[in-house]
């Protein structure tokens, strides 16, 4: 690495050491977020995207599916043709709930037995899983009562063992712990906010104190300055994220089920975008206060709309569409996909593509602007 990049890199670390607030941001904030969000957050859910695999295909199975739909908690998105397809649609995040009705569901009901139904739930977000579980239980119970009374009307005798036998399977997060949902989100948040804020501040602070002007008079080249600024905060973000993964495991027992290497690579892609936004903010802000204000414009929507705090499924459609403009939205899908579901690129690519496109575009634009503004 060129000597001048090393000079900047070294200086940033010396400054971090003297700056207690930045130090706290790097070391304490991740753990604080982990504990706060891990224990505290709860949300309300409805209209869960639902996939149906209806092998029975008769009046009774259709009536049950209708009852699920009418409850308001489930939104039937599509019909799967196999159990494997149902599972893969949930893996890919297209649906949160799967409803599997075996071929002899109608016959079981007709015979006055309990109709066996499998309910598959994506447990990565425990709020969603809880709601799905309770709502499905209520629907099945109500539908069971209807079947029983129908059967009484039809046969003239009560069927003692009628109704619906719902067998739930919770995927990815069987114990439905909030923390399994929150930990990947916190990692995304740490990576985004640390890199974005610290990068923007590191440049704007120099402008505010007049040292940027001093640097421009030296033979340092804009790209050397930029690299020297970006690398330290990339490194601290990685340390903090690693800390959060380790903390999630030690404190809450959250394991990374997928590939750590893929997680690392895609995190770099995401970081590039955050660093770019940070750089961009640094080119349009004269003071740290201005940088903070500008950052809030980006951070608040990310926090609220990306699916970090509130499941995107619960948002109005317009907002859901808007959230597709936020890189963190894609990165969260990737994080949860890799950490909880253990899936790979074959499933994640629809999230990876927009994320990579955004990151590269923003980084290139910001780097270009930075060179022009500083040079």
Partner 1 sequence: MTQNRSSPIIDARHLTRRFGDLIAVNDITFSVYPGEVFGFLGPNGSGKSTTIRMLCGLLLPTSGECHVLGFDVTRESEQIKQGIGYMSQRFALYEDLSVWDNLDFYARVYDVPSDRRRTRLAELVELAGLQGRERQLTGELSGGWKQRLALGCAIVHRPRLLFLDEPTAGVDPVSRRRFWAMIHDLAGEGVTVFVTTHYLDEAEHAGRIGMIHDGVLRALAPPAELKRTALQGQLLDVVSDAPLEAARILNDAPGVRDATVHGTDVHVLIDPETQSAEAIASRLRAAGIAVRAVRPIEPTLEDVFISLIGSPDDRRPVSG
Using CB under 8 A as the binding rule, whether residue 287 contacts partner 1 is answered as: no
Q: How many residues bind partner 1 (CB under 8 A)?
A: 22
Instruction: Look up residue 297 and give its two tokens.
Output: 């414009």
Using CB under 8 A as the binding rule, whether residue 373 contacts partner 1 is answered as: no
From candidates 24, 216, 361, 364, binder to partner 1 by CB under 8 A: 216
Using CB under 8 A as the binding rule, whether residue 160 contacts partner 1 is answered as: no
Minimum Å gap between C-beta 203 and partner 1 is: 14
Residue 112 · residue 158 · CB < 8 Å:
no
Cα 246 to Cα 242, 253, 296, 313: the distances in Å are: 6, 9, 28, 29
Residues 17-76 that bind partner 1 (CB under 8 A): 18-19
Using CB under 8 A as the binding rule, whether residue 219 contacts partner 1 is answered as: yes
Question: Of 15-23, 106-114, 169-177, 294-302, which segment contacts partner 1 by CB under 8 A?
Answer: 15-23
Minimum Å gap between C-beta 274 and partner 1 is: 24
Nearer residue to partner 1 within complex by CB, 14 or 261: 14
Nearer residue to partner 1 within complex by CB, 41 or 223: 223
Count CB neighbours of 81 within 10 A.
Answer: 10
Cα 181 to Cα 127, 333, 374: the distances in Å are: 9, 11, 41
Cα 375 to Cα 366: distance, rounded to the nearest angstrom = 14
Map residue 207 onto helix, strand or coil: helix
Count CB neighbours of 309 within 10 A.
Answer: 14
Question: Of 88-96, 187-195, 216-224, 363-371, which segment contacts partner 1 by CB under 8 A?
Answer: 216-224
Residue 64 · residue 143 · CB < 8 Å:
yes
Cα 287 to Cα 19, 140, 277, 343: the distances in Å are: 18, 60, 16, 43
List the beta bridge partners of residue 99.
52, 119
Cα 210 to Cα 13: distance, rounded to the nearest angstrom = 20
Map residue 276 onto helix, strand or coil: helix
Residues 122-141 that bind partner 1 (CB under 8 A): none
Q: At what angle do helices 178-209 and 288-305 cross, to 10 degrees?
A: 160
Cα 179 to Cα 183: distance, rounded to the nearest angstrom = 6
What is the distance of C-alpha 319 from the center of its chain?
16
Nearer residue to partner 1 within complex by CB, 236 or 274: 236
Place of tokens 């421009």: 216
327-358 burial, b at 16+ Cβ within 10 Å, e below that, comes to bbbbbbbbbbbbbbbebeeebbeebbeebbeb
Minimum Å gap between C-beta 350 and partner 1 is: 45
Question: Of 5-13, 27-35, 69-77, 149-157, which segment contacts partner 1 by CB under 8 A?
Answer: 5-13
Nearer residue to partner 1 within complex by CB, 141 or 218: 218
Nearer residue to partner 1 within complex by CB, 143 or 229: 229
Question: Of 98-106, 203-211, 339-347, 349-357, which segment contacts partner 1 by CB under 8 A?
Answer: 203-211
Using CB under 8 A as the binding rule, whether residue 94 contacts partner 1 is answered as: no
Minimum Å gap between C-beta 189 and partner 1 is: 27
Using CB under 8 A as the binding rule, whether residue 231 contacts partner 1 is answered as: no
Nearer residue to partner 1 within complex by CB, 209 or 249: 209
Instruction: Look up residue 301 and give its two tokens.
Output: 């929507």
Instruction: Look up residue 101 and give its two tokens.
Output: 């009705």
Question: Of 11-19, 67-75, 172-180, 340-348, which segment contacts partner 1 by CB under 8 A?
Answer: 11-19
From candidates 101, 215, 254, 367, binder to partner 1 by CB under 8 A: 215
Minimum Å gap between C-beta 221 and partner 1 is: 8
Q: Given the rule CB under 8 A, which residues bind partner 1?
A: 3-4, 6-8, 10-11, 14-15, 18-19, 209-211, 213-220
């Amino acid at each position: 690495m060129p000597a001048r990049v090393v000079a900047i890199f070294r200086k940033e670390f010396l400054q971090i050491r003297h700056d207690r607030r930045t130090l706290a941001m790097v070391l304490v904030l991740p753990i604080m977020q982990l504990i706060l969000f891990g224990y505290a957050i709860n949300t309300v859910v409805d209209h869960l995207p639902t996939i149906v695999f209806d092998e029975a295909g008769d009046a009774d199975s259709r009536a049950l599916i209708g009852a699920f739909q009418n409850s308001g908690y489930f939104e039937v998105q599509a019909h799967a043709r196999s159990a494997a397809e149902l599972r893969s649609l949930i893996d890919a995040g297209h649906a949160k709930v799967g409803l599997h009705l075996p071929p002899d569901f109608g016959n079981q009901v007709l015979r006055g037995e309990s109709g066996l139904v499998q309910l598959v739930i994506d447990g990565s977000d425990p709020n969603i899983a809880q709601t799905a579980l309770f709502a499905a239980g209520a629907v099945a119970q109500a539908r069971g009562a209807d079947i029983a009374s129908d059967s009484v009307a039809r046969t003239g005798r009560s069927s003692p063992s009628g109704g619906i036998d719902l067998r739930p399977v919770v995927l990815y997060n069987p114990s439905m712990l909030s923390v399994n949902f929150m930990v990947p989100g916190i990692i995304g948040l740490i990576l985004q906010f640390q890199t974005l804020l610290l990068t923007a501040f590191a440049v704007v602070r120099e402008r505010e104190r007049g040292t940027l002007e001093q640097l421009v008079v030296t033979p340092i080249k804009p790209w050397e300055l930029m690299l020297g600024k970006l690398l330290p905060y990339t490194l601290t973000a990685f340390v903090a994220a690693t800390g959060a993964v380790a903390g999630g495991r030690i404190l809450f027992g959250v394991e990374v089920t997928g590939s750590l290497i893929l997680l690392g690579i895609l995190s770099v892609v995401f970081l590039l975008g955050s660093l770019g936004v940070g750089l961009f903010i640094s080119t349009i802000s004269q003071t740290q206060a201005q940088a903070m204000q500008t950052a809030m414009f980006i951070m608040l929507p990310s926090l609220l709309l990306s699916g970090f705090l509130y499941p995107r499924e619960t948002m109005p459609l317009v907002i859901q569409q808007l959230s597709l403009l936020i890189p963190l939205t894609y990165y969260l899908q990737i994080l949860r996909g890799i950490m909880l579901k253990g899936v790979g690129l074959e499933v994640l690519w629809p999230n990876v593509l927009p994320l990579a496109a955004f990151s590269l575009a923003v980084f290139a634009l910001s780097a270009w602007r930075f060179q022009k503004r500083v040079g």
